Structure 1
């Protein structure tokens, strides 16, 4: 006899919408980054903190999706569900990156013209299986673990967080989890205050310093999100989506804090936003309700495209960045092209969602999760970068 699936859990529509708002800001951040000369003059200066917001949101929703199901759910079943949710778009992101790779050759990426096709295909294959490449296989020159689709680094840490949760941390009491979160907050604060660049940017390389940044950026927000889910006592909040969206925009668009001689001030801003502001935004977002049909459709749309746009936009950014570097284009001069690239990123994400991601995930649910007691259970919207 097949076990009876658990009842479907409802979404947090505002959290879906906030994830989409942050993902859209990431695209704008990366477009503006192509024109920056350093972190100090970057427009939409703190867009990189969206990754930390995603991690915190992911921990919250993972707790919601799985914390009360371990009597019915095995570790293997949890891993299968996460793979079905995340991996199809990882593969497509790498394929899109490979398809556009040779169109990005420029003075900024001279190594592209020297890279044989077999090596590029090897890097693509490794990326499709989420195997991070060492510097010896860097085919772009930026020391990325996924040179065809840079944002894959955060999915690598997302998988690590999921494994840690499913195998170990799910068993933690709230006290033990709280101790872990406090220690992780201390490590994150130390990173922000001591960073040579005055920020928490990094995590995309297998080099020791970058791994340190990646683990610090993942550990606190993911497990703080889990703790927030366990401890939060939600209260009704009026206009939560509006106010929380504005808060996300303000935090991510905030100009650089401090001067070049006081870099620690910006690092402190980064750490405090991740440790205190983001949990507050998620708390109020989860407490709110979406009442109008238009708002519900907007949140659904933003949530649906958030992961596809995050994982597919960067090949377009590589191409745009190469064009800017080759032609020495200023932000003002490049604005029309940047707007077209932005719209193309949204359209690409929506097309990937409707014609690839949703059909493939539905097929995988039937094939991979067949016989799983939760195969037909909640299609909970889980955060992905």
Structure 2
């Protein structure tokens, strides 16, 4: 099936939003319970879904015009799309660190060192120096690790990946799949790494396969037309995140990332959208990136609150549900009053130039 010229994949947008909400809930829950005891144990795999979807969308958006563009124009467009929220998330992160009512101990950091940590976060330079934050690559805004690799993938796409034949792309994807399986085996059967200094290269393995797989789906027109709708596909996606940790992680996680996520994208790209759900899909797609890049400041505050007060299960349930809804609201406000206006301003300025 040939993709219609520049059609919009609203169902894929909606699935991206579902994945973003799932990872917020996962981050709440991992503060309370380790993944092995977590009801949304594999919520972290939402990042791999993002990577695969990104490869598909980038190939779809640029494959027919990238060779007619200057590299600087491509990078400018990607910066306009991604970087305003990188900056905003870093600002939220430093404010939460300085004014956390439940702890954080900013007084233990020299001003110069904190400024350096902030600048590293703003410019996406990995700087895993905050021991009290488990040596995250970006201590002020932990999700920055995946954006770092997103930028790397975008640069490699513009430099040479788009030029590859389908055969070469397929072989490279198979090679990347082998690397992903090696990383999973070395990590004891889990693909949870990539966010810390110690697991830095795991992030490269995770984006290498998923981004290439997304590209390959588009380049090969692996799109399955079906009557599956947004609700059915959302359930199929959510099922992954609720797969419990087990002794078979070494098998289940690679299968999910290597096969299941690409399959969901082929289904999502060809699925039929109920017109009544179109606005919901657009909303979820629009808030997915703001939600992902703004939620972690609250996670650090929640972690300190939980350590200090040890709330009971009933109270925790209320906090996590209301906290997730609150963060969705913050993401929407961020989109409306910051991200969209900034991107429109920068886009218009670029067009005039």
TM-score bracket, normalised by the shorter chain, equals over 0.9
Alpha carbons 1:44, 1:255 under 8 Å: kept: yes
Does 2:226 align with 1:255? no
Of residues 143, 150, 167, the one that matches 1:158 is: 150
Distance 1:113 1:327, change over 3 A: farther
Q: How many residues align?
A: 350
Separation in 2, partners of 1:330, 1:269: 32
Residue in structure 2 matched with residue 230 of structure 1 by the alignment: 219
Residue pair 1:237, 1:287 contacting (<8 A) in 2 also: yes
Question: Alignment partner of 2:142: what SS?
Answer: coil
Distance 1:152 1:133, change over 3 A: same
Please tell me whether residue 24 in structure 1 is matched to residue 21 in structure 2: yes
* Correspondences of 1:89-168 after superposition (within 5 Å): 89-104=85-100, 109=104, 112-135=106-129, 138=130, 140-168=132-160
The alignment yields a C-alpha RMSD, in angstroms, of: 1.9
Alignment CA distance shift 1:331-1:255 (3 Å): farther
Of 78, 82, 86, the residue aligned with 2:74 is 78
Where does 1:160-179 land on structure 2 (aligned, <5 Å)? 160-179=152-171
Please show how residues 285-324 of structure 1 align to structure 2 within 5 Å.
285-292=268-275, 294-324=276-306
- Following the alignment from structure 1 to structure 2, what is the Cα–Cα distance between the partners of residues 237 and 249? 19
TM-score by length of 2: 0.94
How far did residue 369 of structure 1 move?
4.3
2:53 is matched with 57
Correspondence for 1:374: none
Contact 1:18 1:245 in 2 (8 A): yes
- Alignment partner of 1:202 out of 190, 193, 196: 193
**Deviation of residue 130 (structure 1)?**
1.4
Shift of 1:88: 0.4
Partner SS state of residue 10, structure 1: coil
Residue in structure 2 matched with residue 375 of structure 1 by the alignment: none
Per the TM alignment, residue 134 of structure 1 is displaced from its structure 2 partner at its CA by 4.0
Kept in 1, the 8 Å contact 2:54–2:211? The answer is yes
Assess if the C-alpha contact under 8 Å between 2:56 and 2:218 holds in 1.
yes
- After superposition, the Cα gap between the structure-2 partners of 1:267 and 1:186, relative to the gap in structure 1 and judged at 3 Å, is same
Gaps of 5+ in 1: 1-7, 259-264, 372-385
The structural deviation recorded for 1:318 is: 0.9
Partner of 1:5: none
* C-alpha contact 2:66 2:158 (8 A) present in aligned 1: no
Alpha-carbon distance in structure 2 between the residues aligned to 1:25 and 1:42: 13
Q: How far does residue 329 in structure 1 lie from its aligned partner after superposition?
A: 2.6
Offset, 1:22 = 0.3
Q: Secondary structure at the match of 1:34?
A: helix
Change over 3 Å in CA distance of 1:48–1:331 after alignment to 2:
farther
Do structure 1's residue 188 and structure 2's residue 170 form an aligned pair? no
Shift of 1:235: 3.9
Q: Which runs of 5+ in 2 are unaligned?
A: none
- The CA distance in 2 between the partners of 1:283 and 1:14, in whole Å, is 11
Whether contact under 8 Å (2:55, 2:212) holds in the other structure is yes
In the TM superposition, residue 267 of structure 1 has moved relative to its aligned partner by 2.4
